[in-house]
Amino acid sequence: MEQFSLIQQLNYFDSFAQLLSAEEVSRLESSSNRVEYNRRDFIVKQNTRSSHIPFILKGLVKISREMRKDKTIILRIEKPSTFVGLSSVFSNETFDFSAIALESTAVLFIDSQVFRSIVEQNSAFAFEIIQRLSRRNIFNVGRLTSLLYKQLPGRVADIILYFSEEIYNSNTFSFPLTRQELAELAGTTKESLIRTLSEFKNDKIIDLDKNVLTISSQNIIKTLSRLG
């Protein structure tokens, strides 16, 4: 495995390394370890102890909750430069979600206690964490309340826009998820998700070939998303 110093890794992906002192960096460094994952590997398993907090260095990760046997909700897709499960580390002792690699992914696991102690003594870093927690919370509430009141076409339009605008910044992209997983992201069933995508395709709102989707009418997609 390649060797990177922690500060190199952090600098490469992030701006917050400069919030940390050399002493803090070395404490983080000596309590962290880098792990590589392949598609479908579990990075975090729901209900395990949050003794380490994952920081995504590279790759794409789905965050999901198994509500019961045969009922999973995908909360969001995480990109590099994110701490996964900040809330859990600061309030629970366990992770209330699973994190699963969607592609070749590198993760830095940071000891929770060391992480917390640095947050506790470094208020600039704490402020950065507060902002991340706040944005995440607003995203979660926004997305989940949308799932609650919108009906299917609006929810499917939402996930198309999510990948287009927030994950890939492109009108054409390849879904990193199966239809089953897309359904779990849109809060519906595989069959309903497939049907809705087919309707969008028939109506020439999108073009879809296997996993490659192209938005043909941004306008209509946005309207569907807005009207719910």
Partner DNA sequence: AAAAATCGATGATTTAAATCATCGATACAA
Partner DNA sequence: TTGTATCGATGATTTAAATCATCGATTTTT
- Interface residues with DNA (CB under 7 A) are 40, 151-153, 178-180, 187-192, 194-195, 197-198, 208, 210-211
In this complex, which beta carbon is closest to DNA, that of residue 13 or of residue 175?
175
- Helical pair 179-186 and 152-161, crossing angle rounded to 10 deg: 110
148 binds its own copies (CB under 8 A): yes
Residue 137 site contact among DNA, its own copies, none (CB < 5 to 8 Å, cut-off depends on kind): its own copies
Residue 34 site contact among its own copies, DNA, none (CB < 5 to 8 Å, cut-off depends on kind): none
d(CA 152, CA 81): 32
d(CA 17, CA 138): 24
Instruction: Kindly list the distances between the CA atom of residue 35 and the CA atoms of 18, 85, 178, 213, in Å, as whole numbers in the listed order.
Output: 23, 17, 25, 31
In this complex, which beta carbon is closest to its own copies, that of residue 91 or of residue 169?
91
Closest distance to DNA from the beta carbon of 152 (Å) = 3
98 class by beta-carbon count within 10 Å (0-12 exposed, 13-18 middle, 19+ buried): buried
Q: Is 16 helix (H, G, I), strand (E, B) or coil?
A: helix
33 class by beta-carbon count within 10 Å (0-12 exposed, 13-18 middle, 19+ buried): exposed
Closest distance to its own copies from the beta carbon of 172 (Å) = 30
Residue 195 site contact among its own copies, DNA, none (CB < 5 to 8 Å, cut-off depends on kind): DNA
Q: Residues 154-183: x/- map of binding to its own copies (CB under 8 A)?
A: ------------------------------
List 45, 47, 51, 142, residue binding its own copies (CB under 8 A): 142
Q: Is 192 helix (H, G, I), strand (E, B) or coil?
A: helix
Closest distance to DNA from the beta carbon of 101 (Å) = 13
d(CA 54, CA 153): 34
Binding site for its own copies (CB under 8 A): 65, 67-68, 71, 73, 75, 86-92, 96, 119-124, 126-127, 129-131, 133-138, 140-142, 144-149, 187, 228
